[in-house]
A and B are shown apart, each in its own frame.
Chain A
Amino acid sequence: MLLLLLLLTALSFSQEALTRVGLQSARVVLERGKEYYLKLTGGSKLTCADCHGPDGESLKGAYARMPRFYTDLGRVADADLRVLSCLRQYLRLEDERLKSRERELVVPLVGFVASLSNGELVFVELRHPEEKRLYELGRTVWYRRSGATDFSCALCHERLAGKQFFAEVLPAPIPDRAPARYPAYSVKRDELLTLEDKLRDCFERYLLYDPKKGRFSFESRVRKPPYYVEELIALELFLMHSVNGSTLSVPGVIK
């Protein structure tokens, strides 16, 4: 009966239904993030809530200003790296426990943290010298042609934006203000993707050279950058800064 009702609803709004189902799944992940936030503990016996407040009071608006420089880390961090660092340094989750399911913990927590900034305007500043350096690095990576395909982010997302690439239309993430909708739920992949996840995936299209052979090879394992690498955080900083002033609205829903 319930299923029939669901089906009928879905039939009448098939397009919206997709978004709705995506949003619903995204909320489940965010709920899980909240649960981790309140209950997960490691060697220090502290929870996230012990330091940042039971409802994450001290984190409201934080996501809208990330990536930024953190004195306790001595480097610029995006939300993913910031959360991972708190898991490591402050919860003192052992490496053994983190290794196998690092992203399974980080992604829902980033989703929850980001949702605390919903409605805020993106406001990424370039004050610290490291923030300025990473902004320039992000810009360099955005325009850098690379790999066996000679692609660059800017080639697909500026010069060719709006064109058809196989069956997909090349999006224009900066004018579309796409970064302000991440973390976003991918309906096709049935998982929540942080901005870092999404940018990292786009590197697959470069068909990067095999660094060991010094030429292109289909066998190469180097397809994407490793998580939290400076170049990824720099790209995020560059993109978020480029959409300063947009209203943060997460979780987004993508194909």
Chain B
Amino acid sequence: MRLLLLLILLLACQPKKPKEEYATFPQFLKRPQETVTPELFRRAFFLDDEAQKLCSSEALTEDILKRVKELSSNFPKLDGYLGDWRKGEQLALTPELYKRLYGKPGGSKKGLCYACHCADPRVDECGDVGPSLYRYAEKGVKPEELFKRIYNPWAFSPCSAMPRFGHHGLLTAEEVTHLVAYLLSPESPVNGGKP
């Protein structure tokens, strides 16, 4: 096995031959044109988002944190905050992680949760930027509270490393309710349920 791996490695790492000679420039070899202009990039990068600007400060003072909290107090009103944990799982797992667990396509690129958190004990490729969410239901957090925590974490922990998923539309309000269920439902693998 190890031998095979190394063989593949060696073959893959064979120094590449230069594709053409320095003197000849085939005209057909064209890359797609770079369409991103500096102006487009600047507009995309320097967002006019007051909270984001405040959190970019090198010294996060009490005043800044207080202001960011104030700016993060808008939440949609819903009839219920507990969605479908299975849909939540689809959002939380990246396509690679989903495939590894279930052997079929699924998951989502929006699901960045495992970049920073561990939760489902079957997933070992998980980050430790945020706390582990394994058995999160035991914490006794109310669904509405948890909804807000995922929708806009800066309302609780201003300038936190956790993205403001709802605020940016990375997740819709409905999608956030599914993640709430993923973390709170006793059937969810996060809480030891058997999927």
By a beta-carbon cutoff of 8 Å, the part of chain A in contact with chain B is 6-7, 10-11, 14, 17-18, 21-22, 24-25, 27-28, 32, 35-36, 39-41, 96-97, 99-101, 104, 140-141, 143-152, 154-155, 159-160, 163-167, 187, 190, 203, 206-212, 215-216, 218, 220-227, 229-231
Contacts and interface: CB of A to CB of B under 8 A. Distances in A.
B137 to A, nearest CB: 24
Contacts of B19: 104
A39 to B, nearest CB: 5
A108 B121 CA distance: 45
B6 interface: yes
B124 to A, nearest CB: 9
B35 A221 contact: yes
Given A7-B7, A166-B125, A210 B161 contact: no
B18 A32 contact: yes
Contacts of A151: 163
Contact of A11 (B6, B55, B114): B6
Interface string B53-89: 0011110000000000000000000000000000000
B52 A226 contact: no
Contacts of B129: 160, 163-165
A150 B25 CA distance: 43
A100 B31 contact: yes
Nearest to B12: A190
Q: Is the interface of B mostly helix, strand, loop or mixed?
A: loop
Counting chain A CB atoms within 10 Å of each CB, the highest count among B3, B30, B34, B129 belongs to: B129
A216 B166 CA distance: 11
A222 B41 contact: yes
A187 to B, nearest CB: 7
B29 interface: yes
Contact of A148 (B12, B23, B116, B170): B170
Contact of B43 (A22, A24, A164, A211): A211
A21 B6 CA distance: 11
A222 B40 contact: yes
Given A36-B22, A230-B38, A231-B41, A25 B164 contact: no
A249 to B, nearest CB: 20
Interface in B1-50: 2-3, 6-7, 9-10, 12-16, 18-19, 22-23, 25, 27, 29-31, 34-38, 40-47
B57 A143 contact: yes
Interface residues on B, range: 35 or more
A143 B13 contact: no
B29 A187 contact: no
B154 to A, nearest CB: 8
A209 B170 CA distance: 10
Nearest to A139: B58
A206 B29 CA distance: 31
Contact of A226 (B22, B34, B109, B126): B34
10 contacts: A10-B6, A11-B2, A32-B18, A41-B23, A143-B56, A147-B45, A190-B16, A208-B44, A225-B45, A226-B34
B139 interface: no
Nearest to B30: A100
A141 B44 CA distance: 13
A28 B15 CA distance: 7
Contacts of A147: 44-45, 47
Contacts of B22: 35-36, 39-40
A221 B41 CA distance: 10
